[in-house]
């Protein structure tokens, strides 16, 4: 893709503020450049050099030139490996990309200019004469005021292809000799990390330009037949690199040679970690718990903290994975990113909103990706008992209030234990009421029938009634009449654990 002149000019203006800038583009998908480095610099005002002997055509003013190098590193499946972890024994390829015309671009400002690509040619020589007319070499169209005709200009930046190298394998990789394209095939032979470096030696380039041609009339047959166009740099002054017609080499500040663009050496780094997938998994973690109410007591609405410790016999770093509700899904990694040393304790907290029995499952994972067995901590979460009483389960609602000083304020409390069950399990519902009318209390039980067939449980107090099997989320509601005849309600909810199916 070639940029429009407006974009080229805008980028040129920005580039003038960043001479010698280096831009790294990392971790691009395979098929594009997995790694690339782009070097660029401002170019001398070639239009103002050697005015006594002529100018470089097209007039290259306020210019910028850029050269890009790319490389790939991938396994036998074609997956990029830079910045990743691979298994010992994996075969990989480190490959500097072949040079392409699009790796070089240059442009100037002040005219109706496009952004030509360049050429990779040994010794930064001129391309073949007929290549002048390639679309990639089009630079600008300028009105010749003497003839009133629009003329097209073509130019190129030719860069000498630098030597490539790949190194830094250390003892982690065993590698073959470089292939003809510079690629190196290696086998991950030892555990550890290697910082593989792609090197591109310093090099240089020359700018070339052609005589202007009538607009849209540049053809290969015209290259050597321009009788009307004078040779801009004749022998003895400036010279024509095409042998009498064709490309002119752009002059430098000295009258003794061409302008040379010096391109410094560049490097690309690719860090790869090799692990042995057949190592030992970490031990099942030891899990202890604490809350503000005691070392093992879980209280609804209060943070409940678990502390985990595991060791790895290989000395690998580890992290912990927590399934807070024991439903087969990882809810949290500790630490949230990276690993900690073997034997390093880590802590995490969760605040439960529902009372009942909790099963907290924890595993340890080492840096190889090997996992321990699960450790399950079981605790019971309850509502904090205090002098104020309570208003039921954490998810309940209603008009129940606390009894103050033995007064007549009605209090209702209903709870299910456990409040989170597996599909088809039962639970136990208990309730109590104070300062209510006699036997006015009933508990609506959607899936249970009392002995009298009413579907409700009656009475102001119950130490526990076992429900029928729970098939879905169920709400049990306690309703009582206050001493003033008002109806008061309080509810508790029993939820069903999601069914976990391992694929």
**φ, ψ at 137 (rounded to 5°):** -95, -5
Question: Can you tell me the mean pLDDT for 476-495?
Answer: 82
**What pLDDT, on the 0 to 100 scale, is given for residue 271?**
92
Pairing of strands 442-444, 474-481: antiparallel
Q: What is the pLDDT of residues 2-28, one digit of tens each?
A: 232 222 333 333 333 333 434 333 333
Contact between 411 and 488 under an 8 Å Cβ cutoff? The reply is no
- Flag whether pLDDT at 265 surpasses 90: yes
Residue 115, class by beta-carbon neighbours within 10 Å (0-12 exposed, 13-18 middle, 19+ buried)?
buried
Q: What tokens does 382 get? A: 């309850």
Mean pLDDT of all residues belonging to the chain: 74
DSSP reduced 3-state for 174: strand
Q: Facing residues of 24 across strands?
A: 37
Residue 394 contacts residue 300 (beta carbons within 8 Å): yes
User: What percentage of the chain exceeds 90 in pLDDT?
Assistant: 24
Enumerate domains of the chain plus CATH numbers: 5-274 (no CATH), 286-382 (2.60.40.10), 411-496 (2.60.40.10)
Residue 228 clears pLDDT 50, i.e. is over it: no
374 pLDDT above the threshold of 50: yes
Would you list the DSSP string of 359-404?
EEEEEEEETTS-B---EEEEEEEEPPP-TT---SSTT--BS-----
Over the stretch 121-170, which tens digit does the pLDDT of each residue have? 999 988 876 677 788 888 777 777 778 888 777 888 999 999 999 999 99
Strand-pairing partners, residue 165, are: 199
Q: Phi/psi of residue 473, each to 5°?
A: -55, 130
φ, ψ dihedrals at 248, nearest 5°: -105, 140
Q: What is the DSSP letter of 198?
A: E
**Inter-residue contact 149 to 215 (CB < 8 Å):** yes
Q: How many residues does the chain have?
A: 503
Comparing 111-125, 184-198, 338-352, the range with the smallest average pLDDT is 111-125
User: Per-residue pLDDT for 241 more than 60?
Assistant: no
pTM, entire model: 0.53
Q: What is the distance between the alpha carbons of residues 7 and 15, in angstroms, rounded to a whole number?
A: 12
Q: Which two tokens stand for residue 402?
A: 């606390």
**53-62, 84-93, 237-246, 283-292: least confidently modelled range:** 237-246
């Amino acid at each position: 893709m070639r940029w429009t002149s407006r974009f080229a000019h805008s980028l040129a203006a920005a580039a003038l503020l960043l001479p010698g800038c280096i831009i790294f583009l990392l971790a691009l998908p395979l098929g594009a450049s997995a790694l690339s480095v782009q070097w660029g610099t401002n170019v001398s005002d070639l239009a103002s050099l050697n005015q006594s002997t002529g100018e470089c055509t097209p007039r290259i003013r306020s210019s910028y030139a850029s050269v890009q190098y790319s490389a790939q590193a991938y396994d036998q499946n074609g997956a990029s490996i830079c910045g990743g972890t691979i298994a010992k024994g994996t075969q990989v390829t480190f490959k500097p990309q072949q040079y392409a015309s699009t790796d070089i671009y240059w442009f100037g400002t002040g005219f109706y200019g496009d952004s030509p690509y360049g050429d990779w040619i040994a010794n930064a020589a001129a391309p073949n004469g007929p290549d002048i007319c390639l679309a990639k070499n089009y630079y600008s169209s300028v009105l010749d005021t003497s003839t009133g005709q629009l003329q097209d200009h073509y130019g190129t930046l030719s860069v000498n292809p630098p030597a490539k190298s790949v190194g830094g394998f250390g003892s982690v990789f065993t590698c073959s000799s470089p292939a003809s394209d510079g690629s190196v095939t290696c086998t991950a032979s030892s555990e550890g990390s290697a910082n593989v470096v792609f090197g591109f030696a310093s090099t240089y380039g020359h700018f070339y330009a052609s005589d202007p041609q009538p607009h849209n009339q540049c053809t290969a047959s015209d290259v050597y037949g321009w009788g009307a166009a004078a040779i801009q740099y004749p022998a003895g002054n400036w010279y024509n690199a095409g042998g009498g017609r064709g490309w002119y080499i752009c002059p430098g500040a000295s009258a003794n040679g061409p302008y040379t663009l010096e391109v410094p050496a560049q490097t690309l780094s690719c860090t790869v970690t090799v692990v042995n997938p057949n190592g030992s998994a970490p031990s099942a973690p030891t899990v202890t718990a604490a809350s503000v109410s005691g070392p093992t007591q879980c209280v609804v609405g209060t943070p409940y903290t678990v502390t985990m410790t595991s060791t790895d016999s290989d000395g690998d770093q580890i992290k912990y994975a927590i399934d807070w509700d024991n439903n087969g899904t990882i809810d949290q990694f500790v630490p949230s990113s990276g690993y900690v040393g073997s034997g390093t304790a880590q802590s995490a907290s969760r605040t439960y909103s529902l009372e009942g029995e909790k099963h907290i499952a924890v595993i340890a994972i080492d840096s190889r990706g090997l996992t321990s067995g699960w450790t399950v901590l079981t605790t019971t979460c309850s509502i904090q008992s205090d002098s104020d009483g309570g208003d039921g389960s954490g998810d309940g609602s209603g008009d129940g209030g606390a009894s103050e000083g033995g007064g007549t304020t009605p209090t209702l409390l209903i709870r299910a234990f456990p409040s989170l069950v597996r599909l088809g399990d039962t639970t136990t519902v208990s309730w109590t009421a104070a300062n209510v009318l006699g036997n006015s209390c009933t508990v609506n039980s959607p899936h249970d029938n009392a002995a009298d067939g009413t579907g409700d449980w009656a009475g102001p107090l119950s130490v526990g009634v076992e429900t029928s099997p729970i098939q879905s989320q169920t709400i049990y509601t306690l309703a009582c009449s206050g001493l003033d005849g008002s109806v008061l309600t309080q509810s508790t909810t029993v939820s069903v654990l999601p069914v976990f199916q391992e694929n």
